Each structure stands twice: as structure tokens, then as C-alpha cells.
Amino acid sequence: MSAPELVEFVARSLVDDPDGVSVEVHDEGGVTVIELHVAEGDMGKVIGRNGSVAKALRTLLKVVATRQGEDISLEIV
């Protein structure tokens, strides 16, 4: 499973409106930036209390990035 697919799968599992989830991938200076878009009402579910869910998602991405040998960054929009 690729990093963008992983982010999309986890986000769709967390939110009330899975159709409102979209993922865009950009390359910025050798760093792969994954932008996660969710419905406004689901933003809190993806970020979590004190950012705990977002932090866990970024930790998962670090594992995937290490395995693939690339730098990956997550932005929640």
C-alpha cells in the first residue's frame, strides 16, 4: 500500500463523510507532500484531541517513508 492510499484509507475510516475525503500528492524539492482534504465537520476527527490522531498518522507515514527511502510530509487541509 502506498503512502497516499494509506492516508486515504485511515481518513475514510475516521470521518462521518468518507466521500468528502480526497488526497493530493505534490513533489516539493525532493519531499513528497501529501495533502489530505476532509469535510469541515470532520476536521476535528482527523486532527484529534491535541493533535493526537494527526501525530499518529504522521508517525505511520514516517515508517512508510523509511521503507520506501523517501521523505514524506502530511498536510491536513
State the residue for C-alpha cell 501529501. Answer: 34
* Mean of pLDDT values over 11-20: 94
Q: Given pLDDT bands bounded at 50, 70 and 90, which one contains residue 19?
A: very high
For 15-44, what is the mean pLDDT? 94
Which domains, ranges and CATH numbers included, belong to the chain? 3-76 (3.30.300.20)
Judged against a pLDDT cut of 90, whether residue 1 lies above it is answered with: no
Evaluate if residue 55 carries a pLDDT over 90. Answer: yes
Can you tell me the distance from the alpha carbon of 12 to that of 17, in angstroms, rounded to the nearest whole number? 8
What share of the chain has pLDDT > 90, as a percent? 86
Name the region of 37 (left: φ>0; alpha: ψ -120 to 50; beta: rest). Answer: beta
